[in-house]
Structure 1
Amino acid sequence: MRVSTRQRVVLAICCASIIVSLMDVSIVNVALPSIHGDLSTSVSGLQWTVDAYTLVLAVLLPLAGSTADRIGRRRVFQVGLIVFGLGSLACSLAPGIGWLIAARAVQAVGGTMLNPVAMAIVVTTFPDRRERAKAIGIFGSMSGLALALGPILGGALVDSWGWRSIFWVNLPIVVIAVICTQLFVPETRADRARRFDPIGQLLLMLTLGSLVGAIIEKVPWLLVIAALAATSLIAYERRRTEPLLELRLFRSIRFSSALVIALVAYVGFGAYLFVTTLYLQNVRDLPALAAGLSLLPIGVAILLVAPYAGRLVAARGPRVPLVIAGTAFVLSVLASFALGATTPLPVVLAIYLVFGIFVGMINPPLVNTAVSEMPTDMAGLAASIISTGRQVGISLGVALAGTVIASTALVR
């Protein structure tokens, strides 16, 4: 079946949306030292600058998908683009760290309407199974491209026009995407959308917000609130006909194992990326662009390894790529403990390449493990929970890393 021009344009719009939303996870890391100096903020302020985005993504991802299924995917997608653009503009105008953190949360509200909704648009735009598989493959590869582009583009912008420019770059992309969405993307809805679960949504927000807040702000009693909220969430969701968190999924050992691995893996990813950008600029005294280019091996490894990981999962199952990912993670982290101000740059880049192998190898087996035993009508929900687990992991990783390095030479 021949792919039409309209289908190509729709795919390009969805790819652009995933690039800007995911790039804002990595692009801001390169700007953290500049934000730290310009806004005279503490380490906790830098942590919240990252975590305000990832936390809101984690909490609202399930809601965004079900809302789009109910009221229309194009409508929600356009609203998400506009909110993301307004949040980006507010970030660029932030006079202080509190404003910046709040604007990052607004950005993330828009971002939650882009990722799962864009995937649904791609699926409905390509009815032919073969062409749909190709389109999903292209769409999925954009996450690696976003992680690769983020540090480099962020470094170039910070060096040339300051940290505020990393948010300006989103605005023209958003404007073009909104216009093209109106012109080319058809409106679609699900035959039957899941019901909104406001109490479950609030309890999830309270659980994750309190947990991350307790770590960043070093307030132990917030852990009690997080535990009470989590207990209440589980008790409440058990009684719901269509819960926010489908607890029946957790009866599957494979699904539960995939979620735990995703959480742990992305704790490591979030902590590593947060510490690495500070190391490159504050310990090695590299300018932002050089720091961004130093992270290129991570993005390149993701782009090269992720497709191979998918084929490996199809041929050998998820165990082999998970072992490779875990080995690469352990080796890169252990080697990173030996890094100092005078470590030869090729050694640093080699370590980052190994870490990139871990990131590129981890996602395909996780998704496969999570959805392989699920009925068709539950596969999308299972995948969205794994995605939420990844965002929670990044948030916790940044929180833990910032707490550890607050009194070290990484922050000055």
Structure 2
Amino acid sequence: MEVIGVDRRWWALGALVTSMLVLGFDLTILNVALPAIADDLGASTGEAQWTADAYVVFFAALMLPAGLVGDRFGRRRTLLAGLGIFLAGSVLGALADDVATVIAARAVMGVGGAFVMPLALSVLPTLFTEPAERTKAVGAVSAASALGMPLGPILGGWLLDHYWWGSIFLLNVPMVALGIAACLLLLPESRDPAAPRVDPLATAATVLGLGALVFGVIEAPVRGWGDPLVVGAFALGAAAVAGLVGRERRSVRPMLDPALLSDRAFLLPALTATLVTLVASGLLFTLPLQLQTVLGYDALGTGVRLLPLMLGPVAAAKAVPPLAARFGPYAVMSAGLVVISFAAFLGSRGGPDDGYGFVALWLSVLSLGFGFAIVSAMDTALGSLPTDRAGSGSGLLMTLRQAGAAIGVAVFGSLLASVFAARLDTSRLPEAVAERAEESVVAAHRVAAELGDPALTGAAADAFSRGMSLTLLVCGIAALAAAPAVAALAPARKGTDREAVRRKGTDPAAHPAGPDPADRSGREGRTAVDTPGTDAPQ
């Protein structure tokens, strides 16, 4: 293994920080550009959903096999390949002149991102062998990914106010090129020849299952829930997921560890984190449309007004540990879900005439709920893992959350599109024009501008607001139903050293903070340090 000097190590860390910052941007930067893309390219709501979900589907499905590829064939080499793929997708997106090309570009970026995310963290133990230095390095890389999420909408909004929508893709080019150059010059190569082999069938089943389920949810409002293609997509997705679980159960060294799904101490917080990620990702897809098309803010103003969603997790990071120690982590999770429910019910009472003050109020409350639920859920899930399952467990947790992000965008967008089309009054318009207007709120505004019909603009805003109200109502019901379930099904609190020894398999004092990022038992155990969602506030 190549050894590099102290100064060069920190320069190499800078390259990794840059790479993770770009991934953080791209989790959220597209959201503020969706109205501009829809307006310029004539994208329907379903097509806009695919521009967001194409990235997340491939990112979620390929992250685990990508990490295994890096472990077996070289982490530096695989990281460089991921950055190169991401760069190619960014260039394709910047040059795109139709929706299909944008979706393809996002898919390519998702493939690249799946290789970058796990490998960026997995090379840190090679660079920093001292625990104190390694902790600082992991924190820097994790912070870069988390920082990119709130900055994405703001930076994207500024670019859209000054340049065309393709600039949000072009931004990646110099930053990724810098990351590639720095990795080439500064990163040493490392690998783990004992890592499990990549299972092509399991990987294909993951992509096929998640993609088919998302396709069914997105296409159902347009084609109908009974349409053969939609029913077939759901059947295919369910069969692929069932086949994946069956194959992984029979595998000696599975990519995903199905046995963990029978462990309530892991499953319950993992499902809570997935639910919160689903809700947050869906809102990050729909809220920019409301702020821009209904409330009339520009792209930069929209990005700034999304910041309240990022404040709750910051506050929760400090508040959750003492509260969990006193009342138990499951009580904190339940409380967070109740707060999410209250905020969603409050937001569902809004209308097109409400200003941003009301939106900021329920967004701030919602953010607190997100923070308390997700921080306690992630800490509890990771803390429940024995050392020998740290890798497979954290990998399964990340995959569930990313799948939740993809499904959240699909479900929220489809529900919103259904309500919008049903509520928009187009009876006085010619049939062809009415069909155009019903595609999306952006399309309706475009038709209203062509016809000089302000009444249609007002009707579109009202129909969209009704759709947003229903989606928030569904969120509130889901969170309210989950809160007592989490509290009722919570395992009994175990605070003895004997229990800690049984779970961790060693002296609890030796592992006070959960899985060691440098643990060789699983590459994914290092990726779970930062757990960025597509999505979601952390």
- Coarse TM-score class (shorter-chain normalised): over 0.9
User: Is the aligned partner of 1:411 residue 2:441?
Assistant: yes
CA displacement 1:135-184 (0-9 Å, x = unmatched)? 32332233331111011001111111021110111111001111111122
Alignment of structure 1 residues 153-232 onto 2, 5 Å: 153-190=155-192, 192-218=194-220, 219-232=230-243
Instruction: Assess if the C-alpha contact under 8 Å between 2:324 and 2:332 holds in 1.
Output: yes
Cα contact 2:255–2:392 (8 A) shared by 1? no
Report what 2:47 is aligned to: 45
- Give the 3-state SS of the residue equivalent to 1:114 in structure 2: helix
1:117 to 116, 119, 138: 119
SS of the residue 1:220 aligns to: helix
- Counterpart of 1:299? 310
Q: How does 1:229-240 map to 2 (within 5 A)?
A: 229-240=240-251
Distance in 2 (CA, whole Å) between partners of 1:364 and 1:43 is: 32
Aligned residues: 410
Does the C-alpha gap of structure 1 residues 304 and 19 become closer, same or farther in structure 2, counting only changes over 3 Å? farther
CA gap 1:300/1:10 in 2 versus in 1, 3 angstroms: farther
Match of 2:394 in 1: 383
Choose from 321, 341, 362 the match for 1:330: 341
Cα 1:304–1:5 change in 2 (3 A) is farther
Q: Could you tell which deviates more after superposition, 18-27 or 76-85?
A: 18-27
Larger radius of gyration: 2
CA RMSD across the alignment? 2.1
Cα distance in 2, alignment partners of residues 87 and 28 from structure 1: 14
Pair 1:401-2:412 in alignment: yes
Instruction: Confirm or deny: 8 A CA contact 1:145 1:299 kept in the other structure.
Output: no
Give the whole-Å Cα distance in 2 for the aligned partners of 1:185 and 1:142.
18
- Between the aligned residues of both structures, percent identity stands at 34
After the TM superposition, which residues 26-175 of structure 1 pair with which residues of structure 2 at under 5 Å, given as runs?
Answer: 26-175=28-177
2:368 corresponds to which residue? 357
What CA distance in whole angstroms lies between the structure 1 residues aligned with 2:250 and 2:140?
Answer: 40
Distance in 2 between residues matched to 1:390 and 1:342, nearest whole Å = 35
Name the TM-score, length of structure 1 as normaliser.
Answer: 0.93
Amino acid at match of 1:71: F
What residue is the counterpart of 2:293 in the other structure? 282
Contact 2:205 2:240 in 1 (8 A): yes
Q: Can you give the 5+ residue segments of structure 1 that lack an aligned partner in the other structure?
A: none
Q: How has the CA–CA distance of structure 1 residues 180 and 304 changed in structure 2, closer, same or farther, with 3 Å as cutoff? A: farther
CA-CA distance at 1:237 after TM superposition: 2.0
* Structure 2 CA distance for partners of 1:236 and 1:259, relative to 1, 3 Å: same
Equivalents in 1 of 2:160, 2:28: separation in Å?
Answer: 13
Give the Å deviation of 1:361.
3.4
- SS of the residue 2:272 aligns to: helix
- CA–CA separation in structure 1 for the residues paired with 2:8 and 2:323: 33
| Shift in Å, 1:306 | 3.2
- How far did 1:86 drift? 0.8
User: Aligned pair in 2 of structure 1 residues 59, 40: CA closer, same or farther (>3 Å)?
Assistant: same
2:277 aligns with 266
Q: Which letter maps to 2:274?
A: L
CA contact (8 A) 2:74 2:190 kept: yes
Q: CA deviation at 1:216?
A: 0.4
Give the TM-score, by structure 2 length.
0.72
Q: 1:90 to 1:349 in 2, by over 3 A?
A: same
CA contact (8 A) 2:86 2:112 kept: yes
Corresponding residue for residue 368 of structure 1: 379
More deviation in 216-225 or 300-309?
300-309
Q: 1:302 to 1:12 in 2, by over 3 A?
A: farther
Corresponding residue of 1:13: 15
